[in-house]
Structure 1
Amino acid sequence: MGRVIGFELSSQEPEKAAAFYANVFGWQAAEPRWDYWAVTTGSPEKPGIDGGIGKGPFDHPHGTRIQIEVEAIDEAIAKARDNGAVIVRDKMEFDDFYLAYLVDPVGLGIGLIQKK
């Protein structure tokens, strides 16, 4: 079963967005990496769902995507495509994980993550 493990906020002004969420909700933003600010929304005593704020690309300039962890990203991408999803960005490789972006059949953007 895929489980939601995070979120991603896309903005054309990610620095401003990170400051807003820090000032209003107390989120802690890490130093940016790849125009992406990882954010922590809870504490050890009261955990939250962590995520990030990134510079919105042309295909998703503003909005929110949930990140769903899968065991086999290639299989999940194929199943999603077979069930009407559009693959926005095919599997990308990062240090510790693989990531892909899709739009489901009703237009909602999601991210798929497979840990290495």
Structure 2
Amino acid sequence: MSGRVVHFEIPFDEAGRAQAFYREVFGWNLIDMPEMSYTLVTTGPTGDQGATEPGFINGGMLRRESPNESPIVVIDVEDIDASLARIEELGGQTLLGRQQVGDMGWAAYFKDVEGNSMGLWQSA
């Protein structure tokens, strides 16, 4: 079902510091993926298809691109291109169009009508 929050992304200035903080405070499992300049974050029991029990989502961490960048909520959609078109029809703005993410699916980013940056996810 689309429209659900399925992922989060937390920007950092210093990877090691941020990773240590979230690992120590919350016990998150962090997997560094240097080839993608990304850190996968698992916040609970996880299998090949993602979370294995209801009530939590996993996410990622990445280098902060701008000083005011804040965490991003990622929403599942059936069709990223159609969703971006609808977002723009309703006054939002595409920040980064459809991007392939390995063989898992596609991601995109948009700004809502209140100026919040958000993400979209479409599974392969």
Is the TM value for this pair above 0.5? yes
Partner of 1:6: 7
Partner of 1:114: 122
State the alpha-carbon separation in 2 of the partners of residues 91 and 61 from structure 1.
Answer: 23
Q: Secondary structure at the match of 2:113?
A: coil
Aligned match for 1:76, one of 77, 83, 86 = 83
Output the amino acid matched with 2:58. Answer: D
If the length of structure 1 is used for normalisation, what is the TM-score? 0.88
Identity score, percent: 32
Residues 55, 61 of structure 1: 8 Å contact kept: no
State the alpha-carbon separation in 2 of the partners of residues 45 and 75 from structure 1.
Answer: 30
Residues 11, 62 of structure 1: 8 Å contact kept: no
Q: How many residues end up aligned between the 2 structures?
A: 115
Residues 40, 48 of structure 1: 8 Å contact kept: no
If the length of structure 2 is used for normalisation, what is the TM-score? 0.83
Consecutive unaligned residues of structure 1, counting only runs of 5 or more, are none
> Are 1:88 and 2:92 an aligned pair?
no
Runs (4+) off by over 4 Å:
44-47
Output the amino acid matched with 1:101. Answer: Y
Partner of 2:105: 97
Residues 10, 61 of structure 1: 8 Å contact kept: no
Q: Secondary structure at the match of 1:77?
A: helix
Q: Secondary structure at the match of 1:100?
A: strand
* Matching of residues 58-73 of structure 1 within 5 Å: 58=66, 62-73=69-80
Consecutive unaligned residues of structure 2, counting only runs of 5 or more, are 46-51
What per-residue deviation string (whole Å, max 9, x for no partner) do you get for residues 11-67 of structure 1?
222332111000111011012241110101112578631001111224x76311111
Q: Secondary structure at the match of 2:32?
A: coil
